Amino acid sequence: MTKIMSLRGRDFTSTIDEMKLLMEPRSVALVGMTRRTGKGAFNTLENLLAIGFQGKIYPVNPEATNILGLKAYPDCASLPAGIDLAIIATPRQVVPTVIRDCIRRGTKAAVITSAGFAEADDTGKKLQSEVLSIAKRGGMRIVGPNSLGIVNNFSNFTSAFVPSPTDKIPIALVCQSGGFLNGFAGFTSGKSIDLGNTSDVDFPDVLQYLGHDPDIKLIALQIESVTDGARFADIASKVSKRMPILALKIARSEEGARAAASHTGSITGKAEVYQAAFKQAGIIPVRDVDEMGDLARAFINVPPLKGNRIGIITHTGAGGIMALDALSQNGFEPARLSPRTVDNLKHLFPVWSPPTNPVDMLAAAITHGYGKVYRESLTALLEDDNVDAILCICGIPTLKAIQQVADGKAKPVITWITGEWDETLLPKVKETGHKAIYPTPERAIRALAALREYNCLATNEAG
């Protein structure tokens, strides 16, 4: 294979190969596997069998000969040679020995889920250094320690001891907390990695791998700290040209930074430094998990935004006003409907209230029905060259019609579904199949602004 680039003593291709051992292993050793099963057992093997992993599994437990129907090995020295990945959940003091034994058996990658290392005390800090130097000498890559590791729904693989959603969503998540891996980011990802204490495998390694991943359309980062800022910016700026990268920087406050030190042993820098690095690297920063989910939903579900003129269709006058406020706040223009659009739609509207933008369709709906008016209005705006994207404001009954009209079209159509987003509303939304949905106009329009931001970056690059 050709070497693509050289960074920190490793070439691009070999990093990708190393990452494949971690992300898409064909054989795994589960070291320090619990024999408890069922609810609250935190049993990785059970989790791995449940999601249908197709590779070979080697449980290691000195007190068992068989776990969940699989032969168990007493120690790592007894394992077959050449296993792709070791997932290590032993007490912390045993980890150096385990790593050494695995390296001897030819294993080149490990996820250490055990905690009590650099995030804990001096003993833990020393242990982490020891583990790292053994691994480096042996040519082994380490994820963690203090990490849930990897969930890769495209390979039916997980190293985590807690279950997570199994959808093959084209979003990859790189984080420094198992809490994120396990879906708390407000959206589901199809492939994710928790770097934990980030002693070895770091954001740039994962970005190199994801930049060439055909399964992935968007990368989301949750960052406490990045160690090698220059390498991170260099690789991220290449990857961000291929797909959008969103980043949520946490530990922004003094208190948060102190807590990060005892969470992953991170030393966090100033928030402004990160913001500048994100900008330089073409990364879109987000404020919170709501915004992370909102932007991801837009990037994954709607086509690129090609201009600044937004059409609005609404069943409520106030909703239209709130949407206009949100456009103004995000530097968008309300589209001026073309004479043809006005002409096509005016037969639906009262004489004293002809169609304009926002298209306030309540009066028309009372006469002609919501479905018909929404369908015709959305079709007309999609065909109008003066309109670059459309915000629909509606309730559940109209959502199916919106999805049918918008599906496959080249313009972004996003929807603010009015009403309380509660346990009765969301199942009905799901049924319609419409996915570019938002609970407020501000959040919907912010998502459109992110599409524009990414598109501008791409365009500037091309020009």
Long-range contacts at 240-243 (CB < 8 A, ≥ 24 apart):
240/281, 240/282, 240/283, 240/457, 241/282, 241/458, 241/461, 242/211, 243/211, 243/216, 243/217, 243/218, 243/219
Nearest 5°: phi and psi at 441? -65, -35
7 or 321: whose CB is closer to its own copies? Answer: 321
The secondary structure of the chain in percent helix, strand, coil, rounded to multiples of 5, reads: 45, 20, 40
> What residues does 311 pair with on adjacent strands?
390
Least CB distance to its own copies at residue 274 (A): 13
Least CB distance to its own copies at residue 396 (A): 11
Least CB distance to its own copies at residue 242 (A): 26
Nearest 5°: phi and psi at 148? -85, -10
Helix (H, G, I), strand (E, B) or coil at 16: helix
Least CB distance to its own copies at residue 175 (A): 7
Least CB distance to its own copies at residue 364 (A): 11
> Amino acid letter at 215?
D
Least CB distance to its own copies at residue 137 (A): 27
64 or 115: whose CB is closer to its own copies? Answer: 115
C-alpha distances (whole Å) from 135 to each of 62, 98, 102, 105, 193 are 23, 11, 10, 13, 19
Give the integer Cα–Cα distance in Å for 80 and 75.
Answer: 11
123 or 280: whose CB is closer to its own copies? Answer: 123
Least CB distance to its own copies at residue 253 (A): 3
12 or 416: whose CB is closer to its own copies? Answer: 416
Helix (H, G, I), strand (E, B) or coil at 101: helix
208 or 222: whose CB is closer to its own copies? Answer: 222
Between helix 441-462 and helix 317-329 the angle, nearest 10°, is 40
106 or 350: whose CB is closer to its own copies? Answer: 350
Beta strands in 287-341 (DSSP E): 309-314, 333-334
Tokens of 280: 């330089």
10 or 435: whose CB is closer to its own copies? Answer: 435
68 or 271: whose CB is closer to its own copies? Answer: 271
Least CB distance to its own copies at residue 386 (A): 16
Nearest 5°: phi and psi at 134? -60, -45
